[in-house]
Amino acid sequence: MMSKKVTITDVASTAGVSVATVSLVLSGKGRISQATSARVNQAIEQLGFVRNRQASSLRGGESGVIGLIVRDICEPFYAEMTAGLSEMFEAQGKVIFLLQSGATGKGLERCFDTLLTHGVDGIVIAGGIQHVNHSLREKAAAQGVPLICASRSGGSEGVDLVRPDNMQAAKIATEYLIRHGHKQIAYLGGLGSSLTRAERLGGFCATLLQYGLPFRSEWIIECDYHYGHAADAAESLLRRYPKISAIVCHKASVALGAYFGVLRTGNQVAGSSMDNLFQRQVALIGIEDSPELALTEPPLTSVSSSAREIGYAAARRLLLRIGGQNLETQDIIVNASIVERGSA
């Protein structure tokens, strides 16, 4: 079946050179003559040699492996971020270990140890960053493994943190509506306890005030992420305050719910292809993007720092640290940008 795993030594002998030479052509370091290089490559081809990276990292330097601990890969935000990380690292010839921590700190610690044991060059922690405590950071430092966090909202110290700019996102959304002539704007969704919501709401209010628009607390509605609830909330809001012409939605699922809520009131979502003079148009804009938002008619505009972008930023930062730079820890805030789809 499998014929004795071919090693660098085999390659060396069939190419008629020394192992060192083979190693050199493999890593492209020493200046090797075209002739030998070709001979070696041919031998490699012929024997079907595959280099053993475990052995090479054992001796020399980097393993070319990055550890990624994510709370739950099924959450679209983290999936997308993972895609971003993976893209960027693969471009550098690195590969990623994926571990799921689950919600508990215990899980995080276990994952962390596993990664260290496997000799990763660096670790990204995505989500659950509140569990990144001192002992964890110590451990990473002791092993000389750079550590970096990525998250949906703030709250860590002593570690680089990459996160979206919630405030700016809300600001952009609100500004966009105002620029399109809206003056009666509501904010829908999220629960009062959410830090992320606080940040977004801050951006919303600030922007209203900046443009001299009234800030009405009755137009700021809490609701959870269920479509049905968001739809109900949007419907009752619009029925009660018919003047409202636009809604900033706290997150993608809320925007989707609001979409159906608007339809229920007998009005149209702005940008609808079926113009109708008898129907009022309500503009909708979501914060956080999601592929689902493209599935409605009209598709829904949103503002977000793409999770993928956060992945890129985190990857870049980690690469810098792995590069040996001795950097201050810092928060890296990824800008939001608008995805225009027509609903605002």
Out of 7, 14, 100, 281, which residue is the one contacting its own copies (CB under 8 A)?
A: 100
C-beta closer to DNA: residue 16 or 242: 16
Site for DNA contains 46 (CB under 7 A): no
Separation CA 213–CA 209 (nearest Å): 6
Residue 46 binds: one of its own copies, DNA, none (C-beta under 5 to 8 A by kind): none
Out of 20, 38, 58, 209, which residue is the one contacting its own copies (CB under 8 A)?
A: 58
Site for DNA contains 47 (CB under 7 A): no
Residue 191 binds: one of its own copies, DNA, none (C-beta under 5 to 8 A by kind): none
Q: Is 100 exposed, middle or buried (0-12, 13-18, 19+ CB in 10 A)?
A: middle
Radius of gyration of the chain (CA): 26
Site for DNA contains 37 (CB under 7 A): yes
Residue 125 binds: one of its own copies, DNA, none (C-beta under 5 to 8 A by kind): none
Site for its own copies contains 119 (CB under 8 A): yes
Looking at the chain, how many residues does it have?
344
CB of 191 to its own copies, least distance (A): 15
Site for its own copies contains 57 (CB under 8 A): yes
User: Which range binds its own copies by CB under 8 A, 28-36, 91-99, 242-250, 327-335?
Assistant: 91-99
Residue 41 binds: one of DNA, its own copies, none (C-beta under 5 to 8 A by kind): none
Residue 139 binds: one of its own copies, DNA, none (C-beta under 5 to 8 A by kind): its own copies
Site for its own copies contains 215 (CB under 8 A): no
CB of 54 to DNA, least distance (A): 8
C-beta closer to its own copies: residue 203 or 298: 298
Separation CA 44–CA 13 (nearest Å): 11
Which residues of the shown chain bind its own copies in the complex (CB under 8 A)? Answer: 1-3, 5, 48, 50-55, 57-58, 63-65, 68, 72-74, 76, 79-80, 82-83, 86-87, 90, 95-100, 113-119, 139, 141-144, 225-229, 253, 257, 260, 263-264, 292, 295-297
